[in-house]
Amino acid sequence: MQLNDTAAIVTGGASGLGAATALALAGRGAAVYAIDLASSIDDAPAVDGVTYLVADVTDEAQVRSAVATANEGAPLRTVVNCAGIGPSARILGRGGVHDLALYAKIVQINLVGSFTVLALAAEAIAQTDPDDNGQRGVIVNTASIAAYDGQIGQVAYASSKGGIVGMTLPAARDLAQHGIRVCTIAPGIVNTPMLATVSEEFRAGLAAGVPFPQRLCEPAEYAQLVTMIIDHDYLNGETIRMDGALRMAPR
């Protein structure tokens, strides 16, 4: 599918994976709408071809408004869900049972938020004219290798990302009649701003656990895989692990 002269939505687009993806899509000629919270957008750099929209992915009205804005000019063809959070807590910890509200919040943002954007964007994409191959769009969701190898303390995060993996194939089947493909990327350990807060020694230890290449993944490599999925018209309903063959230990 061609990106030039089309519109794209990237959630969590002000930093990390989302920012790298927004930059890559804009570089390919798409008009990119980067959705994020106001606090994140305030610190985001200005990028040619990227328009920042304030929206909470868990708020249906805000998502509808953002989708409508993105679909006003060039046809909306691409959606990449990068918004998410990853607090950790054990089911039974020193402070007692896992905070039930925290569990619900993580699932609400990571899984329900991704589905909300997917569904409302698909509604808009389905109204556009198809290209010569009958395609209307591509939606890429972000899971994690924690969906398969969740570690101690990741029960909520792994649940939310496992849900994204689980919805990938049925979503692709649901949207096939509208010419919309759905794929998911499950990254390993990515060098995001969150990791910038830890020591170099800790980061080196994480990298040493990756079989090959023995380093952290860069956000630009995630963005590269997004563009590869968009370009490859036969990729659909698939979750792709991007982890250097890493399989996470229990802790």
Place of tokens 């985001």: 44
Catalytic residue among 148, 157, 222, 234: 157
The predicted model scores a pTM of 0.96
The pLDDT assigned to 195 comes to 77
In CATH, which of 3.30.300.20, 3.40.50.300, 3.90.1150.10, 3.40.50.720 is domain 7-242?
A: 3.40.50.720
Neighbours of 91 (CB within 10 A): 11
The per-residue pLDDT for range 136-160, each reduced to its tens digit, is: 999 999 999 999 999 999 999 999 9
Q: Where are the domains of the chain?
A: 7-242
The pLDDT assigned to 30 comes to 98
157 annotated active-site: yes
Residue among 170, 184, 180 nearest 124 (CA): 180
